[in-house]
């Protein structure tokens, strides 16, 4: 199987010396939906920040045949759509429209195409007609959905979502789950929401203290309750 994402021996320590990722190796094929699970502080967010070169550790990362190195960052960042956990970080523009248009605009697309993509992306997360809204007037659930639209509009090869369901109420959570189920893109979701994993993601990678401790079909990993307990997931 050809790989969309290949990580080889990735290690990373924060400037304060804290070692957050240790010898990570991971392969993800096109169309796969992968859950990156682990308790707080396991290193999920840190790993996602490496996928598009915001952080750069030792080791090698390849996305769609391109190494993640400074020269390639432009194409890497349009190939990997990274959605931050806090929508107040993800949505930095005055209006929803400008925010969703931001990525396509910086990809250098013509104006008509940008508008088409904004409309299509908002529609695919069920937020059509919201483009004039200002983020500080929207609910958390709406902001999370718009956050996903901001990267969908870039038509990335791969989506990387950080804790998409964190702090959502039941209804918003269901809505978001449905949206994720319908997406056809390759998806990596960092989360500790195991029911989201079992509903949407067929493969699970378990991270504990910066190391991958398991990688396999979601069903078999979630059925081992002793293992889940050992790694602080239940």
> In terms of DSSP bridges, do strands 203-208 and 33-37 run parallel, antiparallel, or are they unpaired?
parallel
- Which two three-digit tokens encode residue 89? 């970080």
Q: Can you tell me which of 33, 44, 117, 144 binds ligand ADP, judged by CB under 6 A?
A: 44
Residue 88 contact, options ligand ADP, other proteins, Mg ion, none, Cβ 5-8 Å cut-off depending on partner type? other proteins
Measured CA distances, 39 to 154, 161, 192, 209 (Å): 30, 16, 6, 9
Q: Which of 22, 27, 30, 41 binds ligand ADP (CB under 6 A)?
A: 41
**Does 56 participate in binding ligand ADP (rule CB under 6 A)?**
no
Site string for Mg ion, 35-64 (x = CB under 5 A): ----------x-------------------
For residues 4 and 225, give the distance between their C-alpha atoms in angstroms, rounded to a whole number: 31
Q: Near ligand ADP by CB under 6 A, which window of 14-22, 24-32, 103-111, 176-184?
A: 14-22
H helix intervals, the chain:
44-51, 73-79, 87-90, 96-106, 111-124, 140-152, 170-182, 194-200, 218-222, 225-230
User: Which of 35, 43, 57, 156 touches ligand ADP (CB under 6 A)?
Assistant: 43
Nearest approach, Cβ of residue 204 and other proteins (Å): 25
By the rule CB under 6 A, 126 interacts with ligand ADP: no
Q: Of the two residues 44 and 117, which places its CB atom closer to ligand ADP in the complex? A: 44
Q: Which does 171 bind (CB under 5 to 8 A by kind): ligand ADP, Mg ion, other proteins, none?
A: none
The Cα–Cα gap between 63 and 26 comes to: 12
Phi, psi of 126 (to 5 degrees): 70, 25
> Contact positions toward ligand ADP, by CB under 6 A?
14, 16, 18, 20, 38, 40-46
């Amino acid at each position: 199987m050809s790989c969309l994402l290949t990580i080889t021996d990735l290690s990373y320590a924060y400037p304060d010396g804290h070692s957050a990722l240790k010898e990570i190796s991971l392969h993800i094929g096109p169309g796969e939906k992968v859950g990156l699970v682990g308790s707080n502080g396991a290193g999920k967010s840190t790993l996602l920040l490496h996928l598009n070169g915001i952080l750069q550790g030792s080791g090698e990362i390849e996305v769609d045949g391109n190494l993640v190195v400074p020269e390639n960052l432009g194409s890497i960042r349009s190939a990997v759509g990274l959605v931050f956990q806090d929508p107040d970080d993800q949505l930095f523009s005055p209006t929803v429209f400008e925010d969703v248009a931001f990525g396509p605009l910086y990809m250098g697309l013509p104006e008509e195409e940008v508008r088409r993509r904004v409309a299509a992306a908002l529609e695919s997360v069920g937020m059509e007609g919201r483009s004039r809204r200002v983020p500080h007037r929207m609910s958390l659930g709406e902001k999370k959905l718009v956050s996903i639209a901001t990267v969908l509009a870039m038509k990335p090869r791969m989506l990387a979502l950080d804790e998409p369901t964190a702090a959502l109420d039941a209804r918003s959570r269901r809505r978001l789950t449905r949206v994720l189920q319908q997406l056809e893109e390759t998806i990596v979701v960092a989360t500790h929401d195991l029911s989201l994993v079992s509903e949407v993601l067929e493969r699970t990678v378990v991270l504990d203290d910066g190391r991958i401790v398991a990688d396999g079909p979601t069903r078999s990993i979630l059925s081992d309750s002793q293992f889940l307990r050992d790694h602080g997931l239940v």
